[in-house]
Amino acid sequence: EKKPINVAVTGAAGAIGYALLMRIASGDMLGPNQPVNLQLIETEPGMKPLSGVTMELADCAFPLLRSVQSTTDLEAGFGDAGLAILVGARPRSKGMERGDLLTANASIFAAQGAALNAAAARDVSVLVVGNPANTNALVASANAPDLSPAQFMAMTRLDQSRAAAAVAAKTGAHVRDVERVVIWGNHSATQYPDLTHATVRGQPALKAIGDDAWVKKTFIPDVQKRGAAIIDARGASSAASAASAAVDHMRDLVVGAGDAWLSMGIPSDGSYGVEEGLWYSVPVTCAGKGVYQRVGGLPKPDDFSASMMDATRKELLSERDGVRHLLPKAAGGKGKK
């Protein structure tokens, strides 16, 4: 039998956690032959609801689930983790300014980065889901000096899937026939869902759509604001689809995804005029075993794309400025107290 993979999940008792744990434990994420150990991290108030979730995990009698550990202790929870999915975050409460939210979350992710650095497997892959995801990934990585920044990824897979689904609906294709959709930049309303390279049944998507006004005035804003539309309709935020995107991201990373283009927020290498050290979503391919590679050699973006890519870059810069005090100097910060 294969050796179990240790999967750490923070915010395990939350809405996304509830959907995510079942999918991981059932084998959707790592495949039908891969046993898993779940290492669940919550806050003190989250421990009681988490005990209910772990009762349900036991009652599902999943054949692949080897063990479940619940803890508030970060180093215990991240101990020897091969995969870490950071979902838990401080939600925006009434009257809270955007800057306060950034700082509150940055201190959470600073502590988590340090604990991953101390306790996780050296080849751990870390997926940040909790918002603001890109900047949280930056903060976590900056506090994990012994791990490579490339090991920290911010999730934009849900945006990619939303964009592909919208193109499928528009063209009457199945979502599997929509390829090479790209999400650039921040997981926020400034993201740029780009169809320039996309194909539908192997043909250029923009040609298959044949409606530039729809792309610019409907598709792009709808993808950017899809989360708000779901909250409006459901009275609760998108949890099952966010969990599903995390499953897709980690599966592709670990198992491999051939030549498929997948979007993820990763540390910029300076291309497209994006400062190094910002976590900016770009297309990658996944070879498996946690290895991903940026899609290179793309033609220079046209003026529209360039301005969209620049707007989301600027937002990420201003988010970084908001958390400077939590970044070591080497990561563009003021140095920690």
Given 39, 71, 131, 151, the residue binding ligand NAI (CB under 6 A): 131
Interface with ligand NAI includes 158 (CB under 6 A)?
yes
Q: Least distance to ligand NAI from the beta carbon of 89, Å?
A: 3
Given 52, 91, 270, 335, the residue binding ligand NAI (CB under 6 A): 91
Token look-up 């995990």 returns: 57
| Chain residues 203-222 in contact with ligand NAI, contact rule CB under 6 A | none
Q: How many Å apart are CA 253 and CA 235, to the nearest integer?
A: 32
Residues 98 and 131: beta-carbon distance below 8 Å:
no
User: Looking at beta carbons only, is 68 or 129 nearer to ligand NAI?
Assistant: 129
Interface with ligand NAI includes 130 (CB under 6 A)?
yes
Token readout for 50 is 């988490």
Catalytic residue positions, numbered: 187
Interface with ligand NAI includes 182 (CB under 6 A)?
no
Backbone angles phi, psi at 265, to 5 degrees: -80, 115
The total of other beta-carbon atoms located within 10 Å of residue 216's CB is 12
Candidate segments 86-94, 170-178, 213-221, 313-321, binder of ligand NAI by CB under 6 A: 86-94
Interface with ligand NAI includes 77 (CB under 6 A)?
no
Residue whose CB is nearest to ligand NAI in the complex, by number: 14
- What are the distances in angstroms from CA 306 to CA 161, 196, 220, 239? 22, 12, 15, 32
Candidate segments 177-185, 199-207, 209-217, 231-239, binder of ligand NAI by CB under 6 A: 231-239
User: Looking at beta carbons only, is 152 or 208 nearer to ligand NAI?
Assistant: 152
Question: CA 78 from chain center: how many Å?
Answer: 18
Q: Least distance to ligand NAI from the beta carbon of 65, Å?
A: 20
Q: Least distance to ligand NAI from the beta carbon of 33, Å?
A: 28
Backbone angles phi, psi at 229, to 5 degrees: -65, -35
The total of other beta-carbon atoms located within 10 Å of residue 136's CB is 30
Interface with ligand NAI includes 322 (CB under 6 A)?
no
Candidate segments 37-45, 115-123, 137-145, 287-295, binder of ligand NAI by CB under 6 A: 37-45
Candidate segments 22-30, 42-50, 161-169, 271-279, binder of ligand NAI by CB under 6 A: 42-50
Interface with ligand NAI includes 13 (CB under 6 A)?
yes
**Interface ranges with ligand NAI (CB under 6 A):** 10-11, 13-17, 41-43, 46, 87-91, 108, 129-131, 133, 155, 158, 187, 237-239, 242
Annotated binding site for NAD(+): 11-17, 105, 129-131
